[in-house]
């Protein structure tokens, strides 16, 4: 991704993280050069008829980073800032994340540059169907299996599944994960990422000797990942003192009533945001990150914790629900401050782990209970957490580098076995 097409702050950060891990692993130079770039990157035009009759041409992307371990897997993001560089970085992180979790899947990501809060349901459906049609030759249960990410949800996945199935002439539930349960989705997928974040926090707390009940947490981003993580934390007795979304945040030192805040966003709020939340005092997104709390969860955009604000963080544990929320400069500061980081490719891997379960169930047409899903999710995440912790102790590196080293090494080993097709 050193080449200009993929260059962006996010892809430079992802490549640099990879280089640090590769140097530490003494990775084969040829393999290393290959892994810095995606296997394939698609840019597509997505013409969509808007409600006023004109046709707006959105730009869509699908980047497939590496499939040496199995079919590509990764979310679809709808956000105004989506661009080739960001999607490439997210695809690369998916490769390491799947490998770290031990899944037989590769890494990909997709997205459309758009603001889903400003387009109607009809426009969103038409844009989604056209985007799916544009990438249709590059996705499929054996090839590349998308999932929800920021700005997309189970409804969007249902439209992707339907569009793909209409083209094939028969139902293909295995083409996407994160679908509604009614059409081949799995129990527990919607909650999986936030729940997984909290499973890793529980293990981090055990490791650090922190008793969770009565401890405090702040959560940036109150969508799928942030709201579920907040609810699960409250469920283990943690006081969630602040939450925020794109409209700003709310803070109460005594703890916010999370279930009621979730209800407010889902049922009462006029635009499904925290705007006008009747509990707590307003707090900005920037100030939320600097609140004194035991656990901080960024669960929105990337690059929120930077060289500029890392020194002001007052948490003990930083659990990365979002992808790429912490820059390389910030990592150095956090290390000096002794903040324990549960890195994104570990903390938020719950989503892709349960997506993997969904894919397996779809391929077998045989479905598991939510108890089975949650137990298997917890087993995989707990095992991965201790593998990362062991690696960080053995190699005397931080948790992020340890996690990357495990993921990169698994992918590199598989590449060397498979060899170069010429």
Minimum distance from CB of 54 to ligand NAD (Å)? 27
Minimum distance from CB of 222 to ligand NAD (Å)? 4
Q: Could you tell me the CA-to-CA distances from 149 to 74, 337, 388 in Å, in that order? A: 8, 31, 25
Task: Indicate if 109 belongs to the active site.
Answer: yes
- Beta-carbon contacts of residue 107 (< 8 Å; ≥ 6 apart): 64, 65, 66, 72, 73, 74, 91, 92, 93, 94, 95, 96, 97, 98
Minimum distance from CB of 147 to ligand NAD (Å)? 7
Q: Is residue 347 within 8 Å of 200, Cβ to Cβ?
A: yes
Helix 9-25 with 399-418: angle, nearest 10 deg? 80
Minimum distance from CB of 392 to ligand NAD (Å)? 22
Q: Is residue 66 within 8 Å of 88, Cβ to Cβ?
A: no
CA dihedral 408, 409, 413, 418 (to 10 degrees): 0
Whichever of 148 and 343 has its CB closer to ligand NAD, that residue is 148
- Beta-carbon contacts of residue 266 (< 8 Å; ≥ 6 apart): 272
Minimum distance from CB of 350 to ligand NAD (Å)? 7
Q: Could you tell me the CA-to-CA distances from 298 to 236, 294, 327, 371 in Å, in that order? A: 19, 13, 13, 27
Whichever of 61 and 412 has its CB closer to ligand NAD, that residue is 61
Whichever of 146 and 221 has its CB closer to ligand NAD, that residue is 221
Whichever of 67 and 245 has its CB closer to ligand NAD, that residue is 245
Minimum distance from CB of 150 to ligand NAD (Å)? 4
Residue nearest to ligand NAD (CB): 223
- The rounded distance, in Å, linking the Cα atoms of 89 and 249 is 28
Whichever of 246 and 335 has its CB closer to ligand NAD, that residue is 246
Sign (positive or negative) of CA dihedral 126, 130, 135, 137: positive
- Assigned token pair, 218: 């702040």
Minimum distance from CB of 323 to ligand NAD (Å)? 4
Whichever of 22 and 144 has its CB closer to ligand NAD, that residue is 144
- The rounded distance, in Å, linking the Cα atoms of 131 and 311 is 42
- The rounded distance, in Å, linking the Cα atoms of 117 and 119 is 6
Q: Is residue 321 within 8 Å of 229, Cβ to Cβ?
A: yes
- The active-site residue out of 73, 97, 109, 316 is 109
Whichever of 197 and 402 has its CB closer to ligand NAD, that residue is 197
- The rounded distance, in Å, linking the Cα atoms of 341 and 317 is 6
Minimum distance from CB of 93 to ligand NAD (Å)? 9
Interaction site with ligand NAD (CB under 6 A): 148-151, 193, 220-226, 244-246, 273, 285, 299-301, 321-323, 348, 351
Among 131, 72, 26, residue whose Cα is nearest residue 352: 72
Whichever of 76 and 397 has its CB closer to ligand NAD, that residue is 76
- The rounded distance, in Å, linking the Cα atoms of 179 and 185 is 4
**Catalytic residue set:** 109
């Amino acid at each position: 991704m050193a080449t200009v097409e993929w260059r962006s702050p996010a892809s430079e950060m992802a490549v640099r993280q990879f280089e640090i891990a590769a140097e530490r692993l003494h990775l084969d130079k040829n393999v290393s050069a290959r892994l810095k770039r995606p296997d394939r990157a698609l840019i597509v035009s997505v013409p969509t008829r808007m409600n006023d009759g004109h046709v707006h041409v959105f730009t869509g992307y699908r980047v497939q980073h590496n499939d040496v371990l199995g079919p590509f897997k990764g979310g679809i993001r709808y956000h105004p800032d989506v661009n080739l560089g960001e999607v490439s970085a997210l695809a690369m992180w998916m490769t390491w994340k799947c490998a770290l979790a031990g899944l037989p899947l590769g890494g990909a990501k997709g997205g459309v540059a758009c603001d889903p809060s400003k387009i109607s349901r009809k426009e969103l459906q038409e844009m989604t169907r056209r985007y799916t049609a544009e990438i249709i030759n590059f996705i499929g249960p054996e090839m590349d299996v998308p999932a929800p990410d920021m700005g997309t949800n189970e409804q969007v996945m249902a439209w992707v599944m339907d569009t793909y199935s209409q083209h094939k002439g028969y139902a293909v539930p295995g083409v996407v994960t994160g679908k509604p349960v009614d059409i081949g989705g799995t129990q527990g997928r919607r909650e999986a990422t936030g729940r997984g974040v909290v499973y890793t926090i529980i293990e981090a707390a055990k490791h650090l000797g922190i008793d969770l009940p009565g401890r405090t947490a702040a959560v940036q981003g109150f969508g799928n990942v942030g709201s579920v993580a907040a609810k699960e934390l409250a469920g283990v007795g943690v006081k969630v003192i602040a939450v925020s979304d794109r409209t700003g945040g709310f803070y109460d030192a005594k703890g916010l009533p999370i279930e009621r805040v979730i209800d407010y966003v889902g049922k009462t709020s006029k635009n499904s945001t925290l705007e006008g939340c009747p509990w707590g005092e307003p707090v900005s997104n920037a100030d939320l990150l600097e609140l004194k709390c035991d656990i901080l969860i960024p669960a929105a955009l990337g690059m929120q914790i930077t060289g500029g604000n890392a020194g002001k963080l007052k948490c003990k544990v930083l659990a990365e629900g979002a992808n790429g929320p912490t820059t390389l400069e910030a990592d150095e500061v956090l290390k000096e401050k002794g903040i324990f980081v549960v890195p994104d490719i570990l903390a938020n891997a719950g989503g892709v782990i349960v997506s993997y379960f969904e894919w397996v169930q779809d391929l077998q047409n045989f479905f598991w209970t939510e108890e089975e899903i949650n137990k298997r999710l917890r087993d995989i995440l707990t095992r991965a957490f201790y593998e990362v912790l062991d690696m960080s102790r053995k190699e005397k590196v931080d948790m992020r580098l340890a996690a990357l080293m495990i993921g990169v090494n698994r992918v590199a080993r598989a590449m060397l076995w498979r060899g170069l097709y010429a």
